[in-house]
Structure 1
Amino acid sequence: MRARRTIVVAIVAAIATFTVGAVAIPRPPALSTVTSGDSELVAEVRQLLEESPSVRDRVSVAVIDGGTVREAHFGATGGTEYEIGSVTKTMTGSLLAEAIDRGEVAADTTLGELLDLGTTPAASITLTELATHHSGLPRLAASPGQILSAIISKLRASDPYGASVAELLASARDAQLNEKEFLYSNFGFALLGQALASAADADYPSLLSERVFEPLGMTGSFAPTSPDDLAPDAPTGYTASGRTSDPWTLGADAPAGSVRSTLTDMVRYATAQLHQTAPGVKATFPHSQAGKGRTIGYAWITTDNVTWHNGATGGFTSWIGFDRESERAVVILNNTAAPVDDLGFMLLGTS
Structure 2
Amino acid sequence: MRRFKHLSPVIFLFLWFVFSSYQTPDTLPKHVIDSIEKRIENGINPSIAIGIIDKKGPKFFNFGKTSKEGQLVEEHTIYEIGSITKVFTAILLAQQVMGGTISLDEPVNSYLPSEVVMPVKGSDKITFGTLSDHTSGLPRMPNNFTPANPGNPYVDYKVEQMYSFISSYEPTRKVGAKYEYSNLAQGLLGHILSLNTDLSYEALMIRNIASPLKMEETKIVFDQNMKNNLAIGHSNGVEVENWDIPTLAGAGAIRSSTSDMLKFLSANLGLTETSLRSAMDMTHQVRHDKAGGMRVGLGWHIKKGANGDVIWHNGGTGGYRAFAGFVKESGKGVVVLTNSTASIDDIGFHLLDPDSELKEVLSKSDAVQVPEEILESYVGSYELAPNFSIAITREGTQLYGQATGQSRFEMFPKNNTEFYLVAVEAQITFQVQKDVVESLTLFQNGQEVVGKKIE
**TM class by shorter-chain length?**
0.7 to 0.9
Q: Which is richer in strand? A: 2
Structure-2 separation of matches of 1:163 and 1:130: 20
- Is 1:108 the counterpart of 2:97? The answer is no
Match of 2:82 among 62, 81, 85: 85
Looking at structure 1, the residues matched to 54 and 330 of structure 2 have their Cα atoms a distance apart, in angstroms, of 8
CA 1:42/1:61 → structure 2, altered by over 3 Å: closer, same or farther? farther
CA separation of 1:290 and 1:161: change in aligned 2, threshold 3 A = farther
> Partner of 1:133 in structure 2?
134
CA–CA distance in structure 2, aligned partners of residues 232 and 60 of structure 1: 17
The 8 Å contact of residues 121 and 176 in structure 1, kept in 2 or not, is answered as: no
Cα deviations by residue, 1:284-315 (Å, 9 ceiling, x for unpaired): 22111232331111110000111000000010
What is the TM-score normalised by the length of structure 2? 0.63
1:41 aligned residue: 28
Change (3 A) 1:287 1:334: same
Structure 2 partner of 1:314: 318
- Per chain length, whose mean CA-contact separation is higher, i.e. which structure has more relative contact order (CA < 8 Å, sep 6+)? 1
The residue that corresponds to 1:259 in the other structure is: 254
Q: Specify every segment of 5 or more residues in structure 2 that has no aligned partner in the other structure, as ranges.
A: 1-6, 15-24, 64-71, 357-455
1:41-60 equivalent positions in 2, closer than 5 A: 41=28, 45-50=32-37, 55-60=44-49
Structure 1 counterpart of 2:162, from 157, 168, 174:
168
Distance 1:44 1:222 in 2: 34
Task: Return the alpha-carbon distance in structure 1 between the equivalents of residues 285 and 90 of structure 2.
Answer: 11
Secondary structure in 1 matching 2:247 = helix
Q: Percent identity?
A: 27
Matching residue of 2:199: 202
The structure in which a higher percent of residues are helix is: 1
Q: How many residues align structurally?
A: 312
SS across alignment from 1:215: coil
Q: For the residues of structure 2 that align with 1:232 and 1:69, how far apart are their CA atoms?
A: 23
Mapped to 1, the partners of 2:155 and 2:130 lie a distance apart of 23
Whether the 8 Å CA contact 1:204–1:255 is kept in 2: the answer is yes
Q: Which of 313, 324, 339 is matched with 2:343 structurally?
A: 339
Note the C-alpha offset of 1:39: 6.6
Amino acid at match of 1:49: I
- State how far apart, in whole Å, the 2-side matches of 1:54 and 1:183 are: 33
Q: Distance in 1 between matches of 2:321 and 2:166?
A: 28
Report the equivalent of 1:10: none
Cα distance per residue 1:222-263 (max 9 Å; x no partner): 123x999x8588543001x11211101112111100100011
Looking at structure 2, the residues matched to 127 and 94 of structure 1 have their Cα atoms a distance apart, in angstroms, of 12
Equivalent AA in structure 2 for residue 306 of structure 1: V
Pairing 1:302–2:302 present: yes
Instruction: Classify the secondary structure of the residue corresponding to 2:212.
Output: helix
Structure showing greater radius of gyration is 2
Contact 1:130 1:189 in 2 (8 A): yes
Q: Which amino acid aligns with 1:283?
A: T
